[in-house]
Amino acid sequence: MALGGDQAGSIRIPASFCGIYGMKPTYGLVPYTGIMPIEVSIDHVGPMTRTVADNALLLEVLAGPDGYDSRQGQVQVHPYASLLERGIAGLRIGVVTEGFQQANSEPSVNAKVRKALARLEKLGCSVSEVSIPTHLLAPAMFVPIGAEGLTQTMMHGDGYGVSRPDLYVLSLMDFHRNWRKRANELSDTTKLFTLLGTYVRKYHGGRYYGKAMNVTRRLTAAYDVALADFDLLAMPTTPAKAGELPPPGAPRELVVEHAMNMISNTSPFDITHHPAMAVPCGMCDGLPVSMMLIGRHWDEPTIYRAAYAFEQSSDWTKM
């Protein structure tokens, strides 16, 4: 997942923790056929590669309607690889203030990302600050959608749920249904989300899921307003560097906190469906730091142009 695949229940490592380029394309650009959904409205598929050129080329292979995925509407595909070298002179980048203000933001990570943005400015971009206060409220919108959606689709729905004319992998559904006999083996995060989603559905129905979906339109509009003035938005991909894994027998609270504290900047774009890319931009204490570039819907080419110019300007591991 690139960037958006940070939900409970699967091993999905943020690109910023790997030092690779991860593109979360516009929702629906890459078909989801054959992949077990977690929550259909937020799941994205995208390439993770060692270079920007490889990433753009792989997206060309993956992108476009497949005739099965009902999420794919008016998909806009581009020749991504051939557009990389069009230059970035005059490109306008909005640095989202709130993306640097998460509760677990590390000063060293923020400093590396700002240094990377200064490099983009030297390369010809116009870089300036922009405030989007709603960004800090996005996780509160994400949780009802993620928790209730995961519970109904991935767990009670045997991995696929219903009400979509997609291609269902029956063997996977049959296999996954057996989680009920092995629930004690589920991760703590999956148990938590399933219990939360089940509790909310039992006592409140689907109103909070629906309310979160409704309010998310305001969040999408807030980013779109900023993207009317800027070609790209930027912030740290994850507020902090990768931390040590909790040891065996660690308290459940520590395990859950460690699993969820990385998604405060990425989860907003899971629910608003904007394309976003993790761009490695330096090392702190031997660990990679990543800058996230966010674009308008279907405008992956502009993200790639900026990422490619940055990549070609220097060795990010020495920044």
SS3 for 176-213 is: HHHHHHCHHHCCHHHHHHHHHHHHHHHHHCCHHHHHHH
Mean pLDDT, rounded, for 285-289: 93
Q: In terms of residue numbers, what domain contains 73? A: 15-318
Tell me whether residue 44 is in a domain: yes
Tell me whether residue 87 is in a domain: yes
**pLDDT above 70: residue 12:** no
Tell me whether residue 6 is in a domain: no
Tell me whether residue 309 is in a domain: yes
**pLDDT above 50: residue 3:** no
User: What's the CA gap between 131 and 96, in Å, rounded?
Assistant: 6
**pLDDT above 70: residue 17:** no
Q: Which pLDDT belongs to residue 14?
A: 58
Tell me whether residue 175 is in a domain: yes
User: What's the CA gap between 95 and 295, in Å, rounded?
Assistant: 12
Per the model's pLDDT, the better-predicted residue between 26 and 243 turns out to be 26
Q: How many helices (H) and strands (E) does the chain have?
A: 10, 7
Structure tokens that stand for 188 in this block: 């703590």
Contact 283/289 with Cβ under 8 angstroms? yes
pTM of the entire structure? 0.92
Tell me whether residue 94 is in a domain: yes
Structure tokens that stand for 318 in this block: 């020495």
Q: Give the model confidence (pLDDT) of 40-49 as tens digits.
A: 999 999 999 9
Q: Which pLDDT belongs to residue 2?
A: 35
Tell me whether residue 20 is in a domain: yes
Tell me whether residue 8 is in a domain: no
Give me the number of domains the chain comprises: 1
**pLDDT above 50: residue 32:** yes
CATH number at residue 131: 3.90.1300.10
**pLDDT above 80: residue 13:** no
Structure tokens that stand for 4 in this block: 């958006």
User: What's the CA gap between 159 and 230, in Å, rounded?
Assistant: 39
Q: In what order do the strands lie in the sheet with 21-24?
A: 48-49, 21-24, 276-284, 287-294, 232-236, 92-96, 126-130
Q: Which residue has the tokens 């767990």?
A: 155
**pLDDT above 70: residue 18:** no
Q: Give the model confidence (pLDDT) of 82-102 as tens digits.
A: 999 999 999 999 999 999 999
Q: Give the model confidence (pLDDT) of 269-281 as tens digits.
A: 999 999 999 999 9
Q: Which pLDDT belongs to residue 5?
A: 40
Q: Which pLDDT belongs to residue 80?
A: 98
Pairing of strands 21-24, 48-49: antiparallel
Q: Give the model confidence (pLDDT) of 121-156 as tens digits.
A: 999 999 999 999 999 999 999 999 999 999 999 999
Q: Which pLDDT belongs to residue 263?
A: 93
Mean pLDDT, rounded, for 283-295: 96
